Amino acid sequence: MPGGRPTDYTTEIAQQAWDYANGGWEKEDHAFPSVVGLSDVLTRSRSVLYAWAQDPEKEFKDILDTINAKQELVTFNKSMKGEYNATMAKLLLGKHGYHDRQDIDVTDKTPPTPEKRKFRIGELLNKCKGE
Confidence of residue 5 (pLDDT cuts 50, 70, 90): low
Instruction: Confirm if 1 and 7 have CB atoms less than 8 A apart.
Output: yes
| Residue 88, CB-side half-sphere exposure with 13 Å CA sphere | 11
pLDDT in tens, 67-83: 999 988 888 888 888 88
Torsion over CA: 61, 63, 69, 72 (sign) = negative
User: Which is more confident, 42 or 7?
Assistant: 42
Question: Whole-number mean pLDDT of the chain?
Answer: 84
Predicted local distance difference test score (pLDDT) of residue 94: 76
Instruction: Rounding to the nearest 10 degrees, give the CA dihedral for residues 93, 98, 102, 105.
Output: 160
40 or 115, which is more confident: 40
Reply yes or no on whether the pLDDT at 1 is more than 50. no
CA distance 38 to 24: 9
Percentage of the chain beyond pLDDT 70 is: 88
> If pLDDT is split at 50, 70 and 90, which confidence band does 128 have?
confident
Instruction: Give Cβ neighbours of residue 130 (< 8 Å, ≥ 6 apart).
Output: none
